[in-house]
Amino acid sequence: MEFMTLIEEMERMIEKSPHIPLSGKVFLDGDLFLDYLDRLRTALPEEVRQAQWIRQEKERLLEEARLKAQDILAEAEKRTEIMAQENELVRKARAQANEIIARAQRLAEEVKAGALGYADGLLGQLETNLNQALAQVRQGRQELQGYPSGGPEGQVAATAVTEEKQPHGRR
């Protein structure tokens, strides 16, 4: 996976960069770091791109439902105006307009609920995939830290083991 390779290269770049004494900070080549970020952006997993598409699709569906509801409401208002010319028809027109408005609102809510459910399902799947990838990254890092020459932590662990083997009076 190119994404993971880029992250590992960035970690190596940070580990090899000169450190500022007593601060825990490092000097980095800004252009090189920005280049890595551009490469990461192009190597983003498809799930992230899908999540962005899902968000846009959800917004499009919600806008479509809103416009459809407006059209239905406008139609109901026109019908109400036409029927308002006669008393008996006015009462019936209001009842029908209210029914159309209620139907339009129910339809808009159903479309919205469907879009949100669909988006939530895909985002849940994306979350699961990203959590699995993160777990693999953490496991890999733990395995790397387990090696005796795995950096400062490995040296501290090796020193602790050596000290434990010595008799208590000779430290």
CA 36 to chain centre: 21
CA 125 to chain centre: 11
DSSP characters over 25-77: EE---HHHHHHHHHHHHHT--HHHHHHHHHHHHHHHHHHHHHHHHHHHHHHHH
The CA-atom distances, in angstroms, between 134 and each of 60, 139, 140 are: 31, 9, 10
- Domain extents in the chain: 1-44, 47-124
DSSP characters over 134-167: HHHHHHHHHHHHTSTTSSHHHHHHHHHHHHHHS-
Output the pLDDT for position 157. Answer: 52
Model pLDDT for residues 125-155, shown as the tens digit of each residue: 989 999 999 999 999 999 999 888 745 555 5
The enclosing H or E element of 21 equals: none
Distance CA 127, CA 59 (A): 20
The enclosing H or E element of 109 equals: helix 87-145
The enclosing H or E element of 100 equals: helix 87-145
Tokens of 105: 């609102």
Output the pLDDT for position 114. Answer: 86
Distance CA 27, CA 25 (A): 7
Helix (H, G, I), strand (E, B) or coil at 23: coil
The enclosing H or E element of 19 equals: strand 19-20
The whole-number mean pLDDT for each consecutive block of 10 residues of the chain, a chain of 171 residues, reads 80 88 85 86 76 88 92 87 70 86 88 85 89 92 83 52 51 44
Output the pLDDT for position 118. Answer: 83
Output the pLDDT for position 162. Answer: 52
CA 138 to chain centre: 19
